Structure 1
């Protein structure tokens, strides 16, 4: 079973584009859902100043930007 993650982002956010590019470089396969927070007022309130944010589906733990590939891989592999 693939590990599932949500990337909270916003269209036109260059940091979000960088985070997405890093997610595509992860050596292990993941199921990634990208959510544009602009479409959800509650998410804008929660993440507006913090995007991009990667959230693990199984426990809700979040990884806030800035992160590099090594940090991202460690976060993805945590159980």
Structure 2
């Protein structure tokens, strides 16, 4: 089973757009992790959010992505 994590920020319009793409795909369940206030996550994802990470495969899909790109990422 795919374990997905969406790294995002509070009050992030790009993150909101990514959530819309995830809803339209439709994507499997995922965990939302807010990087605000977490120094390690800020360093890793600070300017890259939103980022969707497949924890099982250790791969990431960075914004911008659309439904087709998301589906390809999930099928890979």
Task: Provide the residue aligned with 1:44 in structure 2.
Answer: 42
From 66, 74, 77, give the equivalent of 2:75. 77
Alignment of 1:2-21 (within 5 A): 3-21=2-20
Q: Equivalents in 2 of 1:4, 1:31: separation in Å?
A: 8
Runs of 4+ in 1 over 6 A off after TM superposition: none
Q: Equivalents in 1 of 2:23, 2:66: separation in Å?
A: 12
Gaps (5+ residues) in structure 1? none
Count of aligned pairs between the two proteins: 76
- CA drift at 1:60: 1.3
Q: What is the aligned-residue RMSD (CA, Å)?
A: 1.2
- CA drift at 1:44: 0.5
Task: Provide the residue aligned with 1:62 in structure 2.
Answer: 60
Alignment of 1:26-37 (within 5 A): 26-27=25-26, 30-37=28-35
* TM-score where L is the length of structure 1: 0.88
Q: C-alpha deviations, 1:29-74, integer Å up to 9, x for none? A: 5121010001421000111011000000211100111111100111
